[in-house]
Structure 1
């Protein structure tokens, strides 16, 4: 698997990677009449999203290739998707997507937690997505019905796991072990980011 592109979350002026989430669903393009096509090995699910968080969770930008013919076809025909929140998509050849939605300002009623990270503390893996402890700053954002109710810095746990990985190469294994129960309980949700 190729290294995956990460959704972005703009929080307190910093563009962060969305490491993982738990709780409810975030954004479902199919619910908006979209048929995403997987055209890039670095984007397995077929779409890329930029969120923004202030007191609420917003979807600001969405990029995807939209199939206007059956997505199951060997090579579906791509085109513009339907308007979302009054915003029509545009084709962005520079980014390589047939449907780019900018300035969506779509409020999301997400209930759950997001783990966001910024600042690479070590080299990113060549495949898949970087683990949560790869980030210098790891934060947990907790939402009820799209309202931010808590933002907690979890960088100390990320640093301890980085050190564990550096010394013993077993950060994933130790997080699944009962010995790491206090670290797991520190989070509002079970993100299972070590799997």
Structure 2
């Protein structure tokens, strides 16, 4: 198992990862009838969303997916699958291991580019930048406290209502957790490992 690829969001001309969700309405492939498959061990769920704010409205700007065998055949012929009135284009992705710094090209996937698909999200999102390498764990989605810069964006029906800098709050939280192990300490404790894995793949938060 490995760390998972986060969704991303463009906010105030800067790229952030989506590190926390407290609401409903983000994009899921099944909403448009698109079946996806795992792209790699770093993306078990089979898709990555890139969001942006357009006139303070949340949009899906790019969707990267792992296609099923049937859809892959269509994509390789430039015929589909058609979604958002577009056919996907192929990509080779490079990944920089945050622990070793080594860059690897490790999957070939497909993306729907230059989208402006409205996302009627309601609730909060934690967006983050400047990951702290010492807190890297080879599992799941990294939570917001592992980043130096964190903002909370509040939406109502996809429109931005407020934005709050939570960086100082996350720094305080890191201090509270300074002595807490980042991974299970007993390799024979199956329940501890199960709970840790389950938590690692959650992105929900409460402040």
Counterpart for residue 174 of structure 1: none
1:106 is aligned, of 88, 98, 117, to 117
* SS of aligned partner of 2:177: helix
Shift in Å at residue 39 of structure 1? 3.3
Shift in Å at residue 30 of structure 1? 1.3
* SS of aligned partner of 1:82: coil
Runs of 4+ in 1 over 4 A off after TM superposition: 76-79
Counterpart for residue 8 of structure 1: 8
Q: Deviations over 1:16-36 (max 9, x none)?
A: 110121211300211212110
Matched, 1:84 2:83: yes
Q: Distance in 1 between matches of 2:117 and 2:137?
A: 32
TM-score for both structures, normalised by structure 1: 0.77
Shift in Å at residue 130 of structure 1? 1.6
* SS of aligned partner of 2:9: strand
**Which segments of 5 or more consecutive residues in structure 1 lack a partner in the other structure?**
70-75, 172-189
What count of residue pairs does the alignment treat as equivalent?
A: 168
Q: Distance in 2 between matches of 1:111 and 1:78?
A: 37
Q: Distance in 1 between matches of 2:113 and 2:45?
A: 20
Shift in Å at residue 107 of structure 1? 1.3
Q: Deviations over 1:117-137 (max 9, x none)?
A: 101234222222222111111
Q: Distance in 2 between matches of 1:139 and 1:147?
A: 16
Q: Is the 8 A contact 1:114 1:140 kept in 2?
A: yes
Counterpart for residue 45 of structure 1: 45
Pairwise CA RMSD of aligned residues?
2.4
Task: Note closer, same or farther for the CA distance 1:115–1:78 as it changes in structure 2 (3 Å cut).
Answer: farther
Q: Distance in 2 between matches of 1:150 and 1:134?
A: 23
